[in-house]
Amino acid sequence: MTTLTTDADTAAVRRAIAGTERPPRPGPLQAALTFGWRGMLKVKHVPEQLLDVTVTPVMFLLMFTYLFGGAIAGSTSAYLDYTLPGLLVMSVLFTTVYSGVALNTDLTKGVVDRFRSLPIWRPAPLLGSLLGDSVRYVVAGTVIIVVGVLLGYRPDAGVSGAVAALALVVVFSFGLSWAFSVLGLLLRSPNAVMNAGFMGIFPLTFLSNVFVDPATLPGPLQAFVDVNPISILATASRSLMAGEPDVPAILVSLAVAAALALVFLPITTRLYRSR
């Protein structure tokens, strides 16, 4: 008989109801960290999610290095040196789209309504899930660097250069992910968020200096590529890996991240509140 374990025990339910006192409200930080913990649990339960965001960049890495690398840079190893810091940027930025997808999935499931009915600091669920997402960003970035090293990539600045580049890219992604959170709140389905997100991030990544040196591009395109924040971030990441930090590029990257957060964070919070 399994009735003992599959039925509610009314007497115990009564005891459970009687035995509670309302604890003090959690502080903003505790609430946000709790949501961060929720994000990590999801990664733990569905590690396949990480495959989605790591397989594509690894594929690009292999394809570009061995298929086009020789033609673009003369040799595959020379090309790997050029493109790996850029691919780090691409793989982590692609992951930010999934922040919007995850938010939209929450909304379609109704669990958000429970969170919204709790007496907690209102932006906590959003901040917390981005905190959890940053784990994904780090994993995605690490995978690319490790695969690069396996293929023969050696950053001049060693481990510390790679860590610094990864940190910069993760901070940038933190800012960018608010833009995808807005998409996640505006669009109807997780799939729509994914499509719209990649429709934006894909061309922006290709129209940057991630894959080719813009010197070979026609004038107007080159002008665009030069001001594309993704180019600037890739340049900054390259400089950190090479051990010759390009300070202006790093500062511009951080400023763009801050600007993205300043614009999209309030919109996200407002949309989240009114949904």
- Is 110 or 218 the residue whose CB approaches other proteins more closely? 110
What residues between 102 and 161 interact with other proteins by CB under 8 A?
A: 109-111, 113-120
- State the DSSP H helix or E strand holding residue 109, giving kind and residue range, or none if neither: helix 76-109
Q: Does 62 bind other proteins (CB under 8 A)?
A: no
Q: How far is CA 149 from CA 57, 77, 162, in A?
A: 15, 11, 11
Q: What is the x/- site pattern for other proteins, positions 215-254, by CB under 8 A?
A: ----------------------------------------
Residue 268's SS3 state is helix
Q: Does 23 bind other proteins (CB under 8 A)?
A: yes
Among 1, 22, 216, 227, binds other proteins (CB under 8 A): 22
As measured in angstroms, the least distance from the Cβ of 76 to other proteins is: 41
Residue 210's SS3 state is coil
103 touches 7 (CB < 8 A): no
Residue 189's SS3 state is coil
Q: Scanning the structure block, which residue is given the tokens 């396949």?
A: 48
Question: In 110-123, which ranges are continuous DSSP H helix?
Answer: 111-116
- Is 29 or 67 the residue whose CB approaches other proteins more closely? 29
Q: Scanning the structure block, which residue is given the tokens 């020379």?
A: 78
- Using the 8-state DSSP alphabet, how is residue 20 labeled? -
- Is 120 or 164 the residue whose CB approaches other proteins more closely? 120
How many chain residues are in contact with other proteins, going by CB under 8 A? 42
> Which positions lie near other proteins, rule CB under 8 A?
4-10, 12-20, 22-26, 30-31, 34, 37-38, 41-42, 45-46, 109-111, 113-120, 274
